[in-house]
Structure 1
Amino acid sequence: MEKIFYNGTIITMDEKNKEVEAVYVKEGKIAQLGTFEEVSKLKNDQTEMVDLEGNVMFPGFIEPHIHLDLAAIIDRANYIGGIKYAKTEDVLNEIKRVIAETPKGEWIFFFGLDYLINRDLPKMDRKYLDQLTKDHPLFIIIQSMHTTYANSLALSELKFSKDTKDTRDGHCFKDENGEPTGVLTEQTFALMFLSKWMQSINEPMDTYFLNKAKQLAAVGITTCWTAGMMPLIENHNQFVCDIINKDDCPIRHDYAITYPNFLSGAESLDRLIPNHPKSKFTGIKFWFDGSPYTGNMKMFDNYLENEIMQDRLYVPKNQNGEFLFEQEKMYELIKEYHNKGIQISVHSQGDYAGKVIVDIFERVLNEFPRADHRHRLEHCAFLSEEDTKRCAKLGIQLSYHVNHLYYYGEALNDLVVGEDRTKIAVNCRWALDNGVNFSLHTDDPMYSANPLRLVCTASTRRSRAGKVFGQEYTIPVHEALKGITINAAFQLNREKEIGSIEIGKFADFTVIQENPYKVDPLKIGDIKVIKTYLDGNETNIK
């Protein structure tokens, strides 16, 4: 297979050769690039000429932090988020409609409940959900995925009782009589409900995963990284890799394995699946703190106090969040797997969590130096400037969840942490100024993947509602684009294969309608994706 791509703006993301007129692809890899005159000399009778028709071609976009498996499954849920339903009345009507249309006894799962957008939603707990239905086991996971609400039947099916204990990472809230209220936090509890719900689905799971891969390709993504596979089905990792590795799957997919799943069982490190050009194991993942929207992101200063935070999201007064690991335990785990040569990624949102986890990495790296470790911090919502500088010295990579500002800028400002902290949130500028390699991500299914929207937000710091938070912390469009291409490839240890258009790399391309360097930065998120290519072959994203 030989192809020449031409007649468009071809942006390579290679600092030494930023723009070319044509690219020659042979056997799925980039074999030559340059002027059209130079490249066209390689044409022969078997060469296919791919006319870009004046569009703009980039290296395939990379989504460096999603949860492909979880997103594929949650796409099957009934969505009730404020991102879709601006009016609370519409959310409640959708809940009632689904209940009315679901046969008695069947599980019902709603995803996306969002007090930060639909601020007049009623208080959710077991009693309220029982008023909606006592004939269905029903549960709701909020948009940020860190809080679950369940009715009595769902709790009973999973044998929740007065004796149910909190987990290492989450809480089962109890009433004055010690009975579960139906309010639960963090992934251990959420996965219990998801697993039970999935057992009730009589549809082929591979369809969900392939459809999700096509959704990602449709927004320009050719490679994604799952930040911790969620073992929801038997031989989970093998199942996902088998789907990705098929010819009809339009993306590559790399993944980490979460704690404690990598310790034993089918997903353990001693039973790793062999790497494949389309799917690779990269390392392990820990959650060190929680979410701003569940009240367990660990901050130095307390959360704001208001009806939404205390009465709807159940955040105690005088609360500054939680560590999900004891600090010495986190140190021992990071030390152990660092010394095994494994890349470590840590979910860290709050400034307090950020300082402590950087302290731990600094301690480990001082005791056991290791070149090019590429350890990562994920989300970095309120990582301080000082700790960002320390990451630069330690070689720690950062991946920013800039949609905190796009979707929730106003909520962070008004309800969660206040103006001063919102202004400096997800501060890519500090990373750029201090020479830290950073990427941009969506955390799909928390927010739907859309790389160009991330570029828009990082370069404008403008929310969906139109307010700018911390104008002085915007970054140039080019640096934001690196966050979804070459910088992201480096974080995945794939910079020799993807992330830029260079000789020897996979011919993974994203073709878009307009040049993001030449449009108003506020319009970048609206640029249309025309096509994607994997190994030089056009993918099916329709």
Structure 2
Amino acid sequence: MGADSDWITGFGYDDAMLAERRHPTRDDLDEVSTDRPVLAIHQSFHLGAVNSIGLKRLGYSAATPDPEGGVIRRRELAVPPSYGEPDGVLEEKAFTPASDLALVGLPERELLMLFATGAAKAASFGFTTVQEGGTTLANLKALRDTAAAVPLPVDVVAYVKADEATASTLDDPIGVSDEYVDGVRAAGVKLVLDGSPQGRTAWLTEPYLTPPPGQPEDYCGYPAVPDDAVVAKQIATAVERDWQVLAHVNGDAAIDQFLKAVEAAGPGRRPTVAIHAQTARKDQVDVFARLGILPSFFSMHTYYWGDWYRETVLGEKRAESISPARWALDKGLRYTSHHDAPVALPNSIAVLSSQVTRRTRSGHVLGPDQQVSALDAVRAITINAAHQYGEQDRKGSIEVGKLADLVILSANPLTVDPEQIRDIKVIETIKAGTTVHPPAPTDQASGTPSTAPTPQWGCSC
């Protein structure tokens, strides 16, 4: 990966889809290499596995305790003073150092290409505004430098990691603005308060149906930030500095922690956003409405992991109410729906279809009571998204005086059979009156393809 890194890195395995229904271990990855560290990154980007030399590089051994907000999975039960020999699987904040080491020294040119490639991919799926959620101050600068040097085909709204931003002694280290410069603007901060339901690291109030290996029957996941006071301070600081607040909250226990902090901090100038809110309870949706919190659901979970939720993670009853869009609508909330790339392809059509049909990979309809109309699904990624960013005066609908941000589709999602929405194709994407997909043909010497990849329903692994 990085120029200063000798790690062998792969991304996209999913234990829910593997025949063994488990993560690769250090022993599995030792078969790849015993001379170089190996990192396999889970599809959720919340977990990963490393080989034996990778564990050594990280300094992880039987004498290493789990870090706060993370888990080093073990080969056997701990016998004090040992914590148990690591099996190679790393969760959350135990996983993060491995991904950081793999990216050490990533050349600036490659970083710039990642930004440009990501923007072009988003345009190919019909998006004209995208989000960089949870970046570092250094990467925000790199993004701005990229956009200044090579114009991006879409607008990018960036949010900096809350712990880094709020710890700064500067009044505004982010440079928050309502206006775009070279197609980029910073809007606020993002907190991560728990993990992933499909990885069984999200923080729940009730136990998982099947706990992961090594965990007790009453295992409910865990918080990323156990200290409520830390969460409250970060959100209060953001509100005081007029930064928009986003929080990754998959589990209902994490949502409880978030709601408590938001209520104490008071309203911000821009909508406070609950990202994912996969297992939000009905009473929590009521509080969203009371506090003006906008839920942004990862609706494609119903397709990708709906069966896994029913069989392993939550059980049938709780799985039916993941991404509870209908509850949000019933409370008058302008909910949005997103794709969370690279966890899944940034497929706008799949985002639409998943809200309307809620079909799993097996074809099961997961929670028909949470289905919404095609029109509501379209609103969730257009005008509601514009409201989330505070840009409804210029984006989100076709009106005189607004930007000509448009997408031309092969069929009308409002009139086709709901089961056929998933087959719709993006024909053309127009940003501020200019076609950005398909891109204009270029000479062969540039190596740039004349058309972007054909949109498809599938995961990025």
Short-chain TM bin: 0.7 to 0.9
- Amino acid in structure 2 at the alignment position of 1:282: A
Moved more, 258-267 or 335-344: 258-267
Picking from 310, 315, 321, the partner of 2:212 is 310
Tell me how far 1:138 sits from its aligned partner: 0.3
Q: Secondary structure at the match of 2:132?
A: strand
Would the aligned equivalents of 2:161 and 2:190 in 1 still touch at CA under 8 Å?
yes
* CA distance in structure 1 between the partners assigned to 2:246 and 2:168 by the alignment: 21
Report how many residues are paired: 427
Would the aligned equivalents of 1:112 and 1:142 in 2 still touch at CA under 8 Å?
yes
* CA distance in structure 2 between the partners assigned to 1:161 and 1:454 by the alignment: 42
Picking from 126, 133, 139, the partner of 1:236 is 139
- In the other structure, the counterpart of 2:14 is 114
- In the other structure, the counterpart of 1:276 is 181
Would the aligned equivalents of 1:350 and 1:382 in 2 still touch at CA under 8 Å?
yes
- Amino acid in structure 1 at the alignment position of 2:134: G
- Amino acid in structure 2 at the alignment position of 1:497: R
- In the other structure, the counterpart of 1:86 is none
Structure whose residues are more often strand by fraction: 1
**2:255 equivalent to 1:354:** yes
Query: Among the aligned pairs, what percent are the same residue?
Result: 27
Q: Secondary structure at the match of 1:171?
A: strand
- Amino acid in structure 2 at the alignment position of 1:408: W
Tell me how far 1:248 sits from its aligned partner: 4.2
Q: Secondary structure at the match of 2:70?
A: coil
- Change in Cα spacing, 1:371 to 1:260, as seen in structure 2 (3 Å) is closer
- In the other structure, the counterpart of 1:150 is 50
Picking from 139, 143, 153, the partner of 2:39 is 139
- In the other structure, the counterpart of 1:405 is 302
- In the other structure, the counterpart of 2:200 is 295
Structure of higher RCO (CA pairs closer than 8 Å, 6+ residues apart): 1
Picking from 408, 430, 434, the partner of 2:327 is 430
**2:194 equivalent to 1:258:** no
Q: Secondary structure at the match of 2:103?
A: helix
**2:408 equivalent to 1:511:** yes
**Deviations 1:169-219 (CA, angstroms, capped at 9, x unpaired):** 212335545443322111x44443233323476663322221221111111
* CA distance in structure 1 between the partners assigned to 2:363 and 2:434 by the alignment: 39
Q: Secondary structure at the match of 1:286?
A: strand
Tell me how far 1:292 sits from its aligned partner: 0.9
- Change in Cα spacing, 1:521 to 1:134, as seen in structure 2 (3 Å) is same
Would the aligned equivalents of 1:372 and 1:395 in 2 still touch at CA under 8 Å?
no
- Change in Cα spacing, 1:466 to 1:266, as seen in structure 2 (3 Å) is farther
Question: What residue ranges of structure 1 are gaps of 5+ in the alignment?
Answer: 1-75, 78-104
* CA distance in structure 2 between the partners assigned to 1:304 and 1:512 by the alignment: 41
* CA distance in structure 2 between the partners assigned to 1:411 and 1:268 by the alignment: 45
Picking from 98, 113, 122, the partner of 1:216 is 122
Larger Rg: 1
Q: Secondary structure at the match of 1:260?
A: helix
Tell me how far 1:433 sits from its aligned partner: 0.6
* TM-score, normalised via structure 1 length: 0.73
**Deviations 1:212-241 (CA, angstroms, capped at 9, x unpaired):** 21111111011111221156xxx3211112
* CA distance in structure 1 between the partners assigned to 2:190 and 2:68 by the alignment: 16
**Deviations 1:358-416 (CA, angstroms, capped at 9, x unpaired):** 23322333xxxx46541110101111111111111211111001111111111100011
- In the other structure, the counterpart of 1:334 is 235
- In the other structure, the counterpart of 1:180 is 86
* CA distance in structure 1 between the partners assigned to 2:224 and 2:110 by the alignment: 35
* CA distance in structure 2 between the partners assigned to 1:399 and 1:146 by the alignment: 19
**2:114 equivalent to 1:204:** no
Would the aligned equivalents of 1:295 and 1:319 in 2 still touch at CA under 8 Å?
no
Q: Secondary structure at the match of 1:261?
A: helix
- Change in Cα spacing, 1:265 to 1:127, as seen in structure 2 (3 Å) is farther
Tell me how far 1:137 sits from its aligned partner: 1.1
Question: What residue ranges of structure 2 are gaps of 5+ in the alignment?
Answer: 440-450, 453-461
Q: Secondary structure at the match of 2:261?
A: helix
Tell me how far 1:320 sits from its aligned partner: 1.0
- Change in Cα spacing, 1:505 to 1:247, as seen in structure 2 (3 Å) is farther
* TM-score, normalised via structure 2 length: 0.85
- Change in Cα spacing, 1:336 to 1:406, as seen in structure 2 (3 Å) is same
* CA distance in structure 1 between the partners assigned to 2:384 and 2:246 by the alignment: 16
Moved more, 401-410 or 171-180: 171-180
Would the aligned equivalents of 2:32 and 2:38 in 1 still touch at CA under 8 Å?
no
* CA distance in structure 2 between the partners assigned to 1:168 and 1:310 by the alignment: 18
* CA distance in structure 2 between the partners assigned to 1:271 and 1:346 by the alignment: 17
Tell me how far 1:273 sits from its aligned partner: 7.4
- Change in Cα spacing, 1:268 to 1:372, as seen in structure 2 (3 Å) is closer
Tell me how far 1:316 sits from its aligned partner: 4.1
Would the aligned equivalents of 2:274 and 2:293 in 1 still touch at CA under 8 Å?
yes
Q: Secondary structure at the match of 2:212?
A: helix
Would the aligned equivalents of 2:297 and 2:336 in 1 still touch at CA under 8 Å?
yes
**Deviations 1:303-322 (CA, angstroms, capped at 9, x unpaired):** 012xxx533xx554320111
* CA distance in structure 2 between the partners assigned to 1:316 and 1:109 by the alignment: 31
* CA distance in structure 1 between the partners assigned to 2:309 and 2:422 by the alignment: 22
* CA distance in structure 2 between the partners assigned to 1:253 and 1:536 by the alignment: 17
Q: Secondary structure at the match of 2:17?
A: coil
* CA distance in structure 1 between the partners assigned to 2:400 and 2:65 by the alignment: 56
Would the aligned equivalents of 2:194 and 2:202 in 1 still touch at CA under 8 Å?
yes
Tell me how far 1:140 sits from its aligned partner: 0.9
- Amino acid in structure 1 at the alignment position of 2:394: E
Tell me how far 1:290 sits from its aligned partner: 1.4
Q: Secondary structure at the match of 1:310?
A: coil
Structure 2 counterparts to residues 375-390 of structure 1, below 5 A? 375-390=272-287
